[in-house]
């Protein structure tokens, strides 16, 4: 989260300026205040009105604007931010920064500031590769400017190679890393989520009511803290998180295979509602209805994925977290489950229909660790995820 952070966002003139609009939205979603500055060239690509509307703030454009100078001089504007972000940064602005030129508002702000500066370059691949740009890049880096991207790929000008501006979410990640808000950077975390579907025949299956909401929220919260999340999901109702590695499965056995393939990990969180049983010898053909003759389903036990990982002799994740969905004696059952499965923590909840938790947006959990049972107040599944991710982060760092 970027709550209480003020970012001075300078948009310079390139086709990637349109991504600057999404960047403003993403930064504000995370609580940052965004003060936008547009160069004359940027105004050829995005309008001051759209930038101002998205930022919810006035757009600064002119160096010699008497009203702006009376309200907030350019020196103060350059210093009131926690970070100055130049996105997209053209070859031209990088050249001005490298040479200390100040011939418009954006370059003057960058010269007058004592605030940290981050740039997200965007330009044609030849311009990026040009020795002059590479010299300027080396110069601004040695002046302490941090650089995000550019990425390789197809460019608006029809060429291919490095020069595409990083995606808005990559820039947000770099901003969060700058503020030390990504403590799980470099950590690999596995999350299982959603129900499993156990086939009876090719068209029928046995399932459960898990929506996958809590697992998805948790995957998102862990990714937001910088973790590389491998998100192994059964057929859930809610979409998977953004910015995670999604592995989609149907059955418990497929989930087990995907979990094993994802190892080793620093932490593994098992939020999936895995079917305990599957139909033995599921039919390869659709079962036909025969009057008066009911199919007799035989069940066989599914692998307990959580227990198998928690009980690994070698390569066990540093932290193994299970969930326990109970309908009675929640603490007693969940505590016994933690001991039986040998996981480090159990996140227990009461899923009796009257609680509305299964398929709902709220959750009331009890975190069971070797320190005992800690009941959390009822809160949204997103808040449960944020708090649990913070606890996981504390445990791993």
Which residues lie below 8 Å from residue 311, measured CB to CB, with a gap of 6+?
341, 342
Q: Among residues 270, 335, 363, 384, which is the contact residue for ligand CTP, using CB under 6 A?
A: 270
> Between residue 333 and residue 372, which ones bind ligand CTP under the rule CB under 6 A?
337
**Choosing from 157, 203, 332, 339, which is the catalytic residue?**
157
Query: 108 near 63, Cβ under 8 Å?
Result: yes
Quick one: which of 41, 33, 1, 38 has its CA closest to 20? 38
Q: Among residues 129, 159, 276, 280, which is the contact residue for ligand CTP, using CB under 6 A?
A: 276
Cα of first residue to Cα of last residue in the chain, in angstroms, is 18
> Between residue 224 and residue 253, which ones bind ligand CTP under the rule CB under 6 A?
252
Q: Among residues 274, 358, 367, 368, which is the contact residue for ligand CTP, using CB under 6 A?
A: 274
CA atoms within 13 A on the CB side of 203: 4
Lay out the site mask for ligand CTP across 105-134 (x = CB under 6 A, - = otherwise).
------------------------------
Q: Among residues 323, 357, 365, 385, which is the contact residue for ligand CTP, using CB under 6 A?
A: 323
State yes or no: is 157 an active-site residue.
yes
Which is closer to ligand CTP, CB of 60 or CB of 323?
A: 323
Q: Which stretch binds ligand CTP (CB under 6 A): 32-40, 52-60, 304-312, 358-366?
A: 304-312
Q: Which stretch binds ligand CTP (CB under 6 A): 22-30, 237-245, 284-292, 319-327?
A: 319-327
* Alpha-carbon gap, residue 189 to 315, rounded angstroms: 14
Assess 325 for contact with ligand CTP (CB under 6 A): yes
Q: Which stretch binds ligand CTP (CB under 6 A): 85-93, 113-121, 173-181, 301-309?
A: 301-309
CA atoms within 13 A on the CB side of 169: 9
Cα pseudo-dihedral 354, 358, 359, 361, rounded to 10: 80
Assess 77 for contact with ligand CTP (CB under 6 A): no
Quick one: which of 227, 294, 293 has its CA closest to 262? 227
Q: Among residues 92, 266, 304, 350, which is the contact residue for ligand CTP, using CB under 6 A?
A: 304
Query: 83 near 118, Cβ under 8 Å?
Result: yes
* Smallest separation (angstroms) from ligand CTP to the CB of 311: 12
Quick one: which of 347, 343, 331, 330 has its CA closest to 391? 347
Annotated catalytic sites, by residue? 157
């Amino acid at each position: 989260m970027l709550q209480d952070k003020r970012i001075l966002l300078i948009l310079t003139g390139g086709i990637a300026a349109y991504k600057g609009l999404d960047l403003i939205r993403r930064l504000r979603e995370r609580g940052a205040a965004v003060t936008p500055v547009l160069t004359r060239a940027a105004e050829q690509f995005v309008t001051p009105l759209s930038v101002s509307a998205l930022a919810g703030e006035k757009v600064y454009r002119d160096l010699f604007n008497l009203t702006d100078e009376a309200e907030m001089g350019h020196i103060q504007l350059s210093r009131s931010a926690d970070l100055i972000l130049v996105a997209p940064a053209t070859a031209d602005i990088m050249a001005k920064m490298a040479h200390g030129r100040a011939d418009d508002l954006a370059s003057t702000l960058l010269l007058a500031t004592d605030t940290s500066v981050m740039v997200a370059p965007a330009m044609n691949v030849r311009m990026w590769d040009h020795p002059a740009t590479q010299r300027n890049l080396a110069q601004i880096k040695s002046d302490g400017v941090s650089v995000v991207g550019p990425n390789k790929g197809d460019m608006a000008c029809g060429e291919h190679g490095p020069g595409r501006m990083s995606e808005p979410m990559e820039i947000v990640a770099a901003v969060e890393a700058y503020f030390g808000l990504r403590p799980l950077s470099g950590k690999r975390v596995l999350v299982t989520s959603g129900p499993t579907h156990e086939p009876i025949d090719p068209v029928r299956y046995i399932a459960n009511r898990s929506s996958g909401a809590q697992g998805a929220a948790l995957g998102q919260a862990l990714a937001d803290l910088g973790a590389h999340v491998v998100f192994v999901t059964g057929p859930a109702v809610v979409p998977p998180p953004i910015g995670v590695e999604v592995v989609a499965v149907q059955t418990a056995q497929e989930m087990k295979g995907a979990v094993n393939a994802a190892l080793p990990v620093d932490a593994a969180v098992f939020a999936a509602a895995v079917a305990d049983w599957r139909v033995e010898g599921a039919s390869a053909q659709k079962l036909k209805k025969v009057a008066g003759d009911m199919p007799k389903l035989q069940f066989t036990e599914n692998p307990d994925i959580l227990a198998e990982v928690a009980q690994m002799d070698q390569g066990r994740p540093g932290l193994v977290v299970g969930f326990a969905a109970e309908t009675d004696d929640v603490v007693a059952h969940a505590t016994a489950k933690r001991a039986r499965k040998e996981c480090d923590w159990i996140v227990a909840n009461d899923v009796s229909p009257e609680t509305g938790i299964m398929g709902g947006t709220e959750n009331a959990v009890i975190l069971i660790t070797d320190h005992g049972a800690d009941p959390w107040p009822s809160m949204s599944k997103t808040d449960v995820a944020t708090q649990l991710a913070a606890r996981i982060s504390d445990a791993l760092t």
